[in-house]
Structure 1
Amino acid sequence: MTPPASPVTRRRIRGDGVDLAVYEQGDRSRPTVLLVHGYPDTHAVWDEVAERLSGRFHVVRYDVRGAGASSRPFGRKRYTFGYLMADLQAVMDATAPDRKVHLVGHDWGSIQAWEAACTMPDRFASFTSISGPCLDHVGHWMRRRLARPTPSNLRRAAGQAARSWYIYFFQTPLLPELMWRAGLSRPFARALELGEGVPPRPGHPAATMARDGASGVGLYRANMLRRLRGPLDRRTDVPVQVIVPTRDLFVSPHLVGGLAARVPNLSIRPVKAGHWVPRSHPDEVAGWITEHMTGARSGPLDATGPRAPRRAPLDVG
């Protein structure tokens, strides 16, 4: 039986030049799980999952820069990974300063969480990634397939390129912002309901979506093409769970191929769902996060010692 949800408290903390709206639930003495949202969402995309986790854990969420009730800096330079990592660190320092955090990310929240898990692994007890791959891994994945242009490799590379059409559109000056401000939020919400079975609920899609979408294109302009064209050699020893929605219209399930070589402690969970799986399958997502957290040790920041790796049950190549 799932324990009852805890009330939500909100406060503001200072990130790197921005004010961040932070939302907490649950007993602060219990293990902390940090849920990071993607684009063009806010913390509210996690509402159902947070409700299910808050009876057992200290649940932390925040609106990333450019979204929801947080500050909206102008210009692409303010959305680079360096600023995102500083914000993430500020949230952890304010909510769980003396212990490791269980990190969970969806979409762009997962993309930046990969950066965190690879650059400051000692800060995390576990990481669950959903529909947001490591950009460096994607860059290497594409290069390997193009270097061996078999029909299968070319088909998979082309499939991901087709899913990523919006990335290139977002590089266009002004047009994406104008479309969001002209009313793109309404058809977006309708497509979410019809395409993924995710009906609107209070907070999601957010009333601020037009501004969130316009500001958040900075994430794509500041980071995407640079990393995909010149991928770094990213690795992490953090225990990683990748939840793979097999009906994702934006992220190919095949992107997990080769990931085990860079993440020795890896498990993969496929689910027949679309991109917004935290909204469409909150019971399953909360259950898998709980299982992954329980299997990974959560302790003080100076905790050391090996963890037994878990074999990924699926690698789709």
Structure 2
Amino acid sequence: MDVFDEHRRFQAGRRWRKIGVAIAAAVALTGLSIASASADPAEEQPRHSFAEYQGIPISIFEYGPSADEAPTIVTTGGWPGDSSIFEPAARKLAAKYHVVRYDRRGVGESGHNTTEESNTLENLAGELGAVIDKTAPGHPVHTFNEAWGSYIAAEFAYRNPGRIASLSAIGAPSLDLQHYAMADVVNNPQTLPGNLAYAAWFASMSAPVLPELYIQAGATEAAFGALTALTGELPVHMTKEDLLASVSIYRANAPARLLSPEYDYLNVPVMQVFQSPTDNPDVISGLDRHTNNLWLTEIEGNHGDFGRISWPLVSSELDRAIAATEPTS
């Protein structure tokens, strides 16, 4: 039995839940005319496929034209949750761009046979490379992410110079470069409370066993559910299965990279950072000294509701970054 057969069996329960939606869509399609070929991309169903990396199936959703017809934007989810937090943005961007949304290992419809060793940034960057090779072979791509999605894109850019045309991040774009930002401000008493809280989060999530105990007890789902209800964010789609399979991303990377980063400079044509009021500004302190072309844009809202509150600004800045880095015909 190959990895895809095994994965299909593993995902059977998820797929049965979607049969009703699929039947409804099929019935609706029978009533469409030939004119539907020019339907609004925001209303079209994404093209679903899988890539494989290290024996793990990676679930991919593509929107809009192909990579040969338009610039490609690649996005994935942070933690917790799968990539569906970027679903509304992907549909809007598909009017102009080839958009690729994928679930990283351990979440959504991707394989869940993960370990702490397999969740290193090096492996997650290789996984991103497999997605790009499948969906946009031979093309530089643009990335748009938040949190761990941004860290993965930065790792890929570091290991694969020239493959990322623009790297856009909501909040800090690189775990490694946060080391230098936090070192810059560590002696400033005014920044101490924010940095201690930030460090405490990473420390608690990187501890042995404890994060899994929180998840098993339902505390993580309850905490994030309360947060999204309080702030009005789009709900983060998470399951206990996803949380348990992916939480080791912290232990596998945060202590090592924050204390002993692998790189101190990231060369990309454009590094764009969207900074929200809920982000700690200290984690991007001095970032302009560690990359060649930093664009910093302040937005309203936060990582979950930017699409509702700040989308006109975010989308226009994405357009500007892509226009600045795409070759002219």
Change (3 A) 1:213 1:125: same
AA matched with 2:244: A
Displacement of 1:94 in angstroms is 0.1
Displacement of 1:289 in angstroms is 1.7
Residue 175 of structure 1 corresponds to 210
In the TM superposition, what whole-angstrom CA distance separates every residue of 1:194-223 from its partner, at most 9, and x where no partner exists?
A: 1x21143xxxx22x4322222222111011
Change (3 A) 1:255 1:174: closer
Contact 1:53-1:290 within 8 A present in 2 as well? no
Change (3 A) 1:275 1:160: farther
Residue 229 of structure 2 corresponds to 193
CA distance in 1, matches of 2:321, 2:142: 9
For the pair 1:51 / 2:91, whether they are aligned, the reply is yes
CA distance in 2, matches of 1:81, 1:261: 23
Contact 1:46-1:278 within 8 A present in 2 as well? no
Contact 1:118-1:235 within 8 A present in 2 as well? yes
More helix by share: 2
CA distance in 1, matches of 2:268, 2:173: 16
Residue 326 of structure 2 corresponds to 297
Normalised to the residue count of structure 1, the TM-score between the two structures is: 0.83
Q: What is the RMSD computed on CA atoms of the aligned residues?
A: 2.1
Residue 250 of structure 2 corresponds to 220
Which deviates further from its counterpart, 19-28 or 269-278?
269-278
CA distance in 2, matches of 1:82, 1:177: 23
Normalised to the residue count of structure 2, the TM-score between the two structures is: 0.80
- Map 1:5-20; keep pairs closer than 5 Å: 5=42, 6-20=44-58
CA distance in 1, matches of 2:190, 2:267: 29
For the pair 1:25 / 2:63, whether they are aligned, the reply is yes
Change (3 A) 1:102 1:235: same
In the TM superposition, what whole-angstrom CA distance separates every residue of 1:50-71 from its partner, at most 9, and x where no partner exists?
A: 1110111100010001111111
Aligned partner of residue 215 in structure 1, secondary structure:
helix
AA matched with 1:292: A
CA distance in 2, matches of 1:22, 1:124: 19
In the TM superposition, what whole-angstrom CA distance separates every residue of 1:207-258 from its partner, at most 9, and x where no partner exists?
A: x43222222221110111111111232321321111011223xxx1232221
Residue 278 of structure 2 corresponds to 247
The structure whose RCO (Cα within 8 Å, separation 6+) is larger is 1
In the TM superposition, what whole-angstrom CA distance separates every residue of 1:116-163 from its partner, at most 9, and x where no partner exists?
A: 2222231021110112431221112222333xx3xxx23224412213
- Map 1:259-270; keep pairs closer than 5 Å: 259-270=287-298
Greater C-alpha radius of gyration: 2
Q: Identity over aligned residues, as a percent?
A: 29
Contact 2:51-2:57 within 8 A present in 1 as well? yes
